[in-house]
A and B are shown apart, each in its own frame.
Chain A
Amino acid sequence: MSRPATAAERGLASCHLCLKLASKDLHQCPRCGSALHLRKSASLQRTLALLITAVVLYLPANILPIMVTDQLGNSTESTILGGVVLLIQLDSIPIAVVIFIASVMVPLGKMLVMFYLCWSVSHGPPVSQRQRTVLYRITEFIGKWSMLDVFVVAILVALVNLGGLLVIRPGGAALAFAGVVMVTMVAAESFDPRLMWDQMEKSDE
């Protein structure tokens, strides 16, 4: 099958920021001045290092309370999962589903998918590039939606402030969770999807 050549085959590097095509021997993009690489540098190592950081941060994010409710002198601490369980008990199933997807499934799924993609590039068979690329793009796109729970806490803390009657305070998990989201966002950005297609081109030869 004949196909258009890749930039790399023509000795051109594509700038990650402004999409300029320039000779791969340059180290800086002649148009926008960003660092220029044929492929994102140390992509797999960086992505894996960031993913491991995210996994480590994910523990306090789920163990520590994400918010504390002081109601008439009683303090109730709730964790992310505890909040979901509480919502189910209160019959707010749709909200429970939204929170569960945004704060549990998306970050976990994202980390698993990124681990899988890293593995597939280094050890996996060079197949289904297109599906893997779509998987990567989805992961990249939904990343920031996990911040939802952190924002909900911020809003509730600011809004619910009725002196001795009812006060909501933020818990340590909020910061850890914001960390998980940011680190996985950078991890997704460090991964280079072109490595998957390079695999195929290598196996074609």
Chain B
Amino acid sequence: MSTTGELILDTESTVGESDQSASLACPSCDLVFDVSDLADGETARCSRCGHFLTRYRADELSRVMAYTVSALILLALACSFPFMEFKASGLESMTTLPQTALQLWRNGMPDLAFLVAAFIILIPAAVLILNVILVGALMTQRPYAFLPQLGRLIFTLQNWSMVEVFFIGVLVSLVKIAGMATVVLDISFWAYAAFSIVFALAVSSLDRFQCWRRIEGLSRS
């Protein structure tokens, strides 16, 4: 049943009050598994429904930190340079990333402008900045009292970032208007392309279960 680097658990765990932090219940079907002895790089899946449970990586924190900092730099780049230019019949218009939201505001849709800005810039930026604080505190072993609140905020906000969807949206709009005029891709476009990949890596590298175990371990010590 097990493949390389992946462990399908089906041993009954004995959960005492003391070692509950090494067990988790499958979020899909509620079976309890003991995941205390995962090797480096190993993934645990539920034996009954196949749901992903957790992945243990010894270098998780430095990985997340590296992706997070790179993503922040790329996002800053993507916000400060022109995104695309559009030229037809001697006229041209240019857009930046923040303008995709701002322009909706100017067209009388401030609510939609706010949502778009939140999904593609504000929420991803907030997740990254909070990540730096949380992972930084875990790496340097500082048991700040606000770490649980920070973790809650990160894992709640994560669901609402739509970076990758927006990027596919950019590609679709490119094809839609490519026939009408000349479209020039600028620095921001490439920065956002790279950002969408690195951001996805940053989010997926921070394992929920392992992260919370670390927070708990830190506040106990």
Partner of B48, one of A32, A130, A150, A174: A130
Contacting residues of chain B (1-52) with chain A, CB-CB under 8 angstroms: 10-13, 15, 20-21, 23-25, 27-33, 47-51
Closest to A143 in B: B159
Contact B49 A197 (CB under 8 A): yes
When distances are taken between beta carbons in the complex, the residues of chain B under 8 Å from A189 are 159
Q: What residue of chain A has the Cβ atom nearest to residue B166's Cβ?
A: A151
Contact B152 A152 (CB under 8 A): no
Query: What CA separation (Å) do A22 and B216 show in the bound complex?
Result: 13
Given contacts A12-B25, A130-B49, A165-B89, contact A158 B95 (CB under 8 A): yes
Given known contacts A4-B32, A175-B112, A33 and B95 CB-to-CB distance under 8 angstroms: no
Interface size class of A (residues with CB under 8 A): 35 or more
Given the known A-B contacts A7-B25, A19-B27, A163-B91, are A170 and B104 also in contact in the complex, defined by CB atoms under 8 Å?
A: yes
In the bound complex, what is the Cα–Cα distance between A151 and B161 (angstroms)? 13
A166's nearest neighbour on chain B, judged by CB, is B88
Residues A18 and B208 in contact, CB atoms below 8 Å apart: yes
Q: Is A160 an interface residue (CB 8 A)?
A: yes
Kindly provide the distance from the CB of A157 to the nearest chain B CB, expressed in whole angstroms.
Answer: 5
Interface segment among A51-59, A87-95, A108-116, A119-127: the answer is: A87-95
Q: Is the Cβ of B32 less than 8 Å from the Cβ of A6?
A: yes
Question: Do residues A151 and B120 form an inter-chain contact, with CB atoms below 8 A?
Answer: yes
Give the CA-CA distance A157 to B105 in the complex, in Å: 11
Mask of B174-185 contacts with A, CB within 8 angstroms, 1/0: 011101100100
Q: A171 CB to closest chain B CB, in angstroms?
A: 9
The answer to whether B176 touches A170 (Cβ under 8 A) is no
A44 sits at the interface (CB 8 A): no
- Scan residues 111-160 of chain B and give those whose CB is less than 8 A from a CB of chain A: 111-112, 115-116, 119-120, 148-149, 151-152, 155-156, 159
Which residues of B sit under 8 angstroms from A98, Cβ to Cβ? 168, 172
Q: From the candidates A94, A95, A147, A175, name the one contacting B109 in the complex (CB within 8 A).
A: A175
Q: Mark A1-15, 1 if CB is under 8 A from B, else 0.
A: 011111110101010
Residues on B with beta carbons closer than 8 Å to the beta carbon of A175: 109, 111-112
> Chain A, 124-166, contact with B by CB distance < 8 Å: what is the 0/1 string?
0000011001101100000011011111101111111111011
Residues of chain B within 8 A of A16, CB atoms compared? 27
20 contacts between A and B (CB under 8 A): A4-B32, A4-B33, A6-B30, A7-B30, A17-B155, A21-B24, A95-B172, A130-B49, A136-B28, A145-B168, A148-B172, A151-B120, A151-B165, A152-B176, A154-B112, A158-B103, A162-B91, A162-B93, A174-B112, A178-B112
